[in-house]
Amino acid sequence: MTTVVDARGLACPHPALLTRQALRRAGSGQVEVLVDTDTARENCLRVAEREGWQAEVIFEGSAYRLRLTR
């Protein structure tokens, strides 16, 4: 089951905090994070890397979909 975190429109550090919370709850599998700024994208990717997750970034119009797997 994929967990989806919609962090579009949220100011930093909220997207990164929500991402970390979702990754820790999931433990493994797939988590998708939706963000709409470059800063949020970079911060969420850093969190995923620190937590040991692999990331795929997909740009969709005005937002990014971060597909995180472990």
4-38: pLDDT as tens digits: 999 999 999 999 999 999 999 999 999 999 999 99
Q: Residue 1: its pLDDT value, please?
A: 82
- Give the domain range for residue 7: 3-69
Q: Structurally, how many domains does the chain consist of?
A: 1
**CATH code where residue 48 lies:** 3.30.110.40
- Contacts for 27-31: CB closer than 8 Å, 24+ residues apart: 27/70, 28/70, 29/1, 29/2, 29/3, 29/69, 29/70, 30/2, 30/3, 30/67, 30/68, 30/69, 31/2, 31/3, 31/4, 31/5, 31/68, 31/69
pTM for the whole thing? 0.95
